[in-house]
Structure 1
Amino acid sequence: MEQPFLTIAQATKFELIIKKSRFICALQRVETEEEAQAFIKTVQTANRKATHNCFAYLVGDHDQVQRESDNGEPSGTAGIPILESLQLAKLHNVVAVVTRYFGGIKLGAGGLIRAYSNVTTKAVHQAGIVQRVKQLRLQITVSYRQHDALVYYLKEQHLTLAGEEYGVNVTTNVFVNEGDATNIMTNLQNRFNDQLIIKKAGSHFHEVPYQP
């Protein structure tokens, strides 16, 4: 079974202070490696006085591109923990840059790994996670007399309305998951005694909140 495509719901920043060092994780969605590199450069430019700007990113539906950098921290103590935090959340198409302002107290290798991992994980939680699902748009044509009953039924079934068109009859658009389309169409016709005209009107990707 194919794994769901997950990414962050929104860009965000999260800060932790650990033994006087500031760790600031900036998260951003990206579609290409060029976008990831541009975001990293933007964060580095905004934090020129920082001790380190470490990063990791995953790009592609199957994470075809994966990069990480310790940016001067001891090898394996920053970039990899950031990357593994993104992987643990099963995210795709996301870049994380963790900026560190050194506070004068050394953390040791274990402390650094925990710090970079924790701030990234907390940033992911703050950003939220969405799942990308492929959905069909159904056009449901119904008489004005039955329109209110249709809308009530759709909301009862937790189906997302996507606009309506008014003419001789009412055409209500609704998004449904591709795998559920046949059953939903059958249930609609049964519920309304085959008095609906239902057409498939193309598909698109839709994002829904995800709770692991």
Structure 2
Amino acid sequence: MLKRYFTIKGSGVTEIEINRSRFIGYVERVETEEQAQAFIASLKKKHWDATHNCSAYIIGEHDQIQKADDDGEPSGTAGKPILEVLKKNHVKDTAVVVTRYFGGIKLGAGGLIRAYGKGASEALKAGTIVERVLHDLYQFELDYTFLGKIENELRAKPQYIIDHIGYLDMVTVSVLVETGQEAPLIEWMTDLTSGQVKISQGESRYIEFDKEVSDT
């Protein structure tokens, strides 16, 4: 599993107008090529009357699947600039469709490249790029006398996330910490409790953090 990577939070849609042409940008998180193709097909069906429905997607831990489609626009003026926006923002498992309704004014090759790139950038902003960071879950079982101090100190340290606190005979504090950064947490908790703590590890998971979008 990757320790960290960028993707889209979920989905988004936006619209811009350039020289009377409408460009509607859609973005969706997709984990397989079949999902990406289904997403594109659904928008082609929705906008059956559009001049073009251009698209691109990147899928896989190592970006092994990359596709771009100009959908009738001059070669390299639509799908490729959409794909380049995805690459520039380093997003994975993401598909974008930019639908165009022609407004009567030709944009030329350069104008099309800029328009589709802008449409893709705006779509990513609408969908929100997130960084997914792999975290490990550690469970600390300790006496109630330690809880107040530990809870206050944990909340003051942004690198640690309190996932859950369980109250039984002993209190169990479950903490998420970025994978590879667990040693300082374990040492710190051991020191705070003078070694009076039982430590176990749970399942790892991704935590998402918002990121700014880079334009073309």
TM-score (norm 1): 0.94
Q: C-alpha displacement at 1:189, in angstroms?
A: 1.4
Specify the code of the residue in structure 2 equivalent to 1:199.
S
Where has structure 1 moved over 4 Å in runs of 4 or more? Answer: none
Specify the code of the residue in structure 1 equivalent to 2:209.
V
Name the residue aligned to 1:93: 93
Query: Structure 1 CA distance, aligned partners of 2:31 and 2:101?
Result: 29
CA distances 1:80-101 after superposition (whole Å, capped 9, x unpaired):
0000011000010000000000
Other structure's SS at 1:125 match: helix
Query: Structure 2 CA distance, aligned partners of 1:210 and 1:185?
Result: 29
1:193 matched to 2:212? The reply is no
Name the residue aligned to 2:170: 169
Equivalent positions of 1:96-107 (< 5 A) are 96-107=96-107
Other structure's SS at 2:204 match: strand
Query: Structure 1 CA distance, aligned partners of 2:189 and 2:198?
Result: 10
Name the residue aligned to 1:206: 207
Query: Structure 1 CA distance, aligned partners of 2:42 and 2:77?
Result: 23
Query: Structure 2 CA distance, aligned partners of 1:122 and 1:52?
Result: 18
Name the residue aligned to 1:134: 134
1:12 matched to 2:19? The reply is no
Q: C-alpha displacement at 1:3, in angstroms?
A: 8.5
Q: For structure 2, which runs of at least 5 residues remain unmatched after alignment? A: none
Q: C-alpha displacement at 1:58, in angstroms?
A: 0.4
CA distances 1:34-64 after superposition (whole Å, capped 9, x unpaired):
0000000111111111000000000101111
1:50 matched to 2:30? The reply is no
Over the matched positions of the two proteins, sequence identity in percent amounts to 39
Other structure's SS at 1:202 match: coil
Query: Structure 1 CA distance, aligned partners of 2:154 and 2:103?
Result: 56
CA distances 1:116-165 after superposition (whole Å, capped 9, x unpaired):
00111122123222122221111011222221211111111122121222
Question: Which 10-residue stretch deviates more, 151-160 or 91-100?
Answer: 151-160
Q: C-alpha displacement at 1:110, in angstroms?
A: 0.6
Q: C-alpha displacement at 1:191, in angstroms?
A: 2.5
Aligned length: 211
Structure 1 residues 160 and 120, CA gap change in structure 2 (3 angstroms): same
Name the residue aligned to 1:123: 123
Q: C-alpha displacement at 1:211, in angstroms?
A: 4.9
Q: C-alpha displacement at 1:14, in angstroms?
A: 1.4
Query: Structure 1 CA distance, aligned partners of 2:168 and 2:189?
Result: 21
Specify the code of the residue in structure 1 equivalent to 2:82.
I
Query: Structure 2 CA distance, aligned partners of 1:3 and 1:162?
Result: 19
Specify the code of the residue in structure 1 equivalent to 2:205.
H
Question: Which 10-residue stretch deviates more, 90-99 or 120-129?
Answer: 120-129
Other structure's SS at 2:72 match: coil
